Amino acid sequence: MKHPVLLLLFSSLFILSSCTKNGDDSDDDLVGNWVRSEDFRGDPRSEAVSFVLGNKAYVGTGLFATNGQYSTEFYRLDLDLGYWEKIPDFPGEMRRGAVAFTANGKAYVACGFNGPANKLLNDVWEYDPVQNTWTAKNPFPGVARRNAVAFTVNDKGYIATGYNTSALSDCWEYNATDDSWTEKASIRGRKRSQAVAFVVAGKAYICSGNNNGEALNDLQLFDPVANKWTDLRKLTNVSDETYDDDYANIARYGAVSFTVGNKAYLATGRAGSLISDTWEYEPSTDLWTKKTSFEGTAREGATGFSLKDRAFVLTGRSGSEIFDNMFEFRPFEEQNDDDNN
């Protein structure tokens, strides 16, 4: 004799199991592969800066792992040859939480915090890759700051947000041709530090950041011609529509962003606790898609860059542990657990 109650229980368990599997947001169902890459040659560090000139990436400054010292060392990555080469030390004061941008074939490093001197900075230094030299430029005219964001649009550099005695919202444009600064429209909404910025198809975006210990849930688009900021969709589930139902752990601070093609990516960082979730942003639809989580140790204060349509995340810290490892993210590959050994 069949037992209807047992059959019903079995059927319910089967349905529950099927729903759980289909709705499972584990990395087994996600796309994107993190691959261990060449370790950063310098000492482990956090809150370093990075920039790309031509077909090479550069990483320098930051907080050393040893004795809490601040670094002025800079290294250059030749991706074709697969090695890091030391270049002349950064000649300004030691610092962490600085920013970098590029313009007219040169790079600029600005602002930051000199911990041993307990000093916020507003100096600006130009790096010439042809001469392999550093030159002091006109200081940043806004208040000295750390943990700002920087980006480049149409060969003009921009520095925005950051922290002085409180979070900031101002934005400044740098013209490398005449070494001049111009204040632009401040970002909308709340002031912030430790945000991220990225540029896709000639448009700049500032994402999330820290305000009084809270990870902000906004994304803003900057039009430098109109000198206008526009609020885009929120990073959390706040609408009555379905597109944001699964949004979680996008809002964060102390993270890294990078671009591959016409899409942007957000990885690492903190929102109360450290975050490994990786998200992909599609500017044409203003939508986010979850990707395979960062496969290194969860961290904040890392740096990242894109070079030859390849994306890299390196350095950073987790508590007192500071890193010198580097990972490449391949957004369109399936995850492979065997390539990080």
pLDDT number for residue 82: 87
Q: Which two tokens stand for residue 248?
A: 């979680």
pLDDT number for residue 5: 38
Q: How far is CA 174 from CA 65, 79, 169, 179, in A?
A: 33, 29, 17, 7
Q: How far is CA 319 from CA 60, 184, 300, 322, in A?
A: 21, 36, 9, 8
Q: How far is CA 171 from CA 142, 187, 190, in A?
A: 9, 7, 13
pLDDT number for residue 259: 97
Say whether pTM exceeds 0.85: yes
pLDDT number for residue 67: 67
Cβ(186)–Cβ(171) below 8 Å = yes
Boundaries of every domain in the chain: 29-334
Strand-pairing partners, residue 279, are: 266, 290
- pLDDT tens, 176-201? 999 999 999 999 999 999 999 999 99
pLDDT number for residue 339: 72
Report the number of secondary-structure helices (H) and strands (E) in the chain.
Answer: 1, 32
CB neighbour list of residue 4: distance below 8 Å, 6 or more residues apart: none
pLDDT number for residue 140: 98
SS (H, E, C) 17-35: HHHHHHHCCCHHHCEEEEE
Residue positions counted in the chain: 341
Strand-pairing partners, residue 321, are: 318
Buried b / exposed e along 5-44 (16+ C-beta atoms within 10 A): eeeeeeeeeeeeeeeeeeeeeebeebbbbbbebeebebbb
Which H or E run contains 10? helix 4-23
Q: Which two tokens stand for residue 97?
A: 């939480």
Q: Can you tell me the distance from the alpha carbon of 103 to that of 56, in angstroms, rounded to the nearest whole number?
A: 15
Which of the residues in the chain have pLDDT under 70?
Answer: 1-26, 28, 65-67, 340-341
Q: Could you tell me which CATH number the domain at 29-334 has?
A: 2.120.10.80
Q: Which of 65, 52, 126, 49 is nearest to 92 (CA)?
A: 126
Q: Phi/psi of residue 7, each to 5°?
A: -65, -40
pLDDT number for residue 28: 67
Among all chains, which residue has been given the structure tokens 């200081």? 139
